[in-house]
């Protein structure tokens, strides 16, 4: 899961990551943590949905109207993390995707660039560490964030450096061949 979310952070054209698995494995926590590491994004100022100034065809009606009057300004904002209400149904979130088939038979997962199944750690020391860290955060969120700030800053720098290097990456045929075999079999 860590690698998949870093890949998506470096190259958003991957198409997102579907993370599924056992309850209590930190899926939501991992997404929130990654969002805090990402660079601020460009949005249209005072736009409730946060339209991207570079994607005019996807603007909301309000942004289109403001653009016609010349009163469109840009702003930077943090990457949002959306918490869905407990009662939300799959169709509201993923439209025609049949989640049961996607998760049990690995069909239609092509809507996501990457998919990762997360399982509860089987060894006691790892599980204990997870509980200890969660408890430390609950008791003192500011102190916990301060404790990990140096490591977070290092990860943020690595993401930015990888984004800068991405256009120069060349994929040798041997790596492409391995990827094809992994995806489609020999």
What residue spans of 38-140 are helical by DSSP H? Answer: 61-69, 90-94, 99-105, 124-139
Q: Calculate the CA 53 to chain-centre distance.
A: 21
Give the confidence band of 102 by pLDDT, cuts at 50, 70, 90.
Answer: low
Position 58 scores a pLDDT of: 86
Cβ atoms of 64 and 83 within 8 Å: the answer is no
The Cα–Cα gap between 39 and 22 comes to 30
Orientation angle between helical segments 2-10 and 27-37, nearest 10 degrees: 30
Residue 170 has pLDDT above 80, yes or no: yes
The Cα–Cα gap between 127 and 20 comes to 18
The Cα–Cα gap between 32 and 81 comes to 6
Position 109 scores a pLDDT of: 46
Q: What is the mean pLDDT of the chain?
A: 83
The Cα–Cα gap between 49 and 64 comes to 13
Give the confidence band of 94 by pLDDT, cuts at 50, 70, 90.
Answer: low
Q: pLDDT higher for 21 or 66? A: 66
Q: How many CA atoms lie within 13 A of 11 on its CB side?
A: 14
The Cα–Cα gap between 101 and 59 comes to 33
Q: Report pLDDT digits (tens) over 40-92.
A: 889 999 988 888 898 888 898 999 999 999 888 999 988 776 665 556 665 66
Q: Report pLDDT digits (tens) over 131-164.
A: 898 899 999 999 999 999 999 999 999 999 999 9
Q: What's the chain's length in residues?
A: 186
Position 98 scores a pLDDT of: 55
Tell me which residue of 17, 13, 14 sits closest to 5, measured CA to CA: 17
């Amino acid at each position: 899961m860590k690698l998949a979310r870093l890949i998506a952070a470096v190259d958003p054209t991957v198409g997102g990551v579907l993370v599924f698995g056992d309850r209590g494995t930190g899926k939501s926590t991992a997404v929130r943590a990654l969002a805090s590491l990402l660079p601020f994004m460009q949005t249209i100022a005072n736009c409730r949905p946060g339209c991207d100034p570079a994607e005019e065809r996807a603007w909301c009606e309000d942004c289109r109207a403001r653009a016609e009057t010349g009163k469109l300004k840009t702003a930077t904002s943090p990457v949002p993390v959306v918490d869905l209400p407990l009662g939300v149904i799959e169709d509201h979130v993923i439209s025609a995707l049949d989640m049961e088939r996607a998760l049990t038979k690995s069909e239609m997962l092509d809507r996501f660039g990457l998919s990762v199944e997360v399982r509860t750690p089987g060894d006691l020391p790892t599980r204990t560490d997870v509980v200890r860290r969660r408890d430390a955060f609950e008791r003192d969120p500011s102190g916990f964030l301060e404790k990990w700030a140096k490591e977070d800053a290092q990860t943020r720098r690595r993401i930015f450096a990888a984004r800068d290097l991405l256009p120069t990456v060349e994929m040798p045929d041997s790596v492409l061949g391995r990827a094809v075999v992994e995806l489609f079999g020999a």
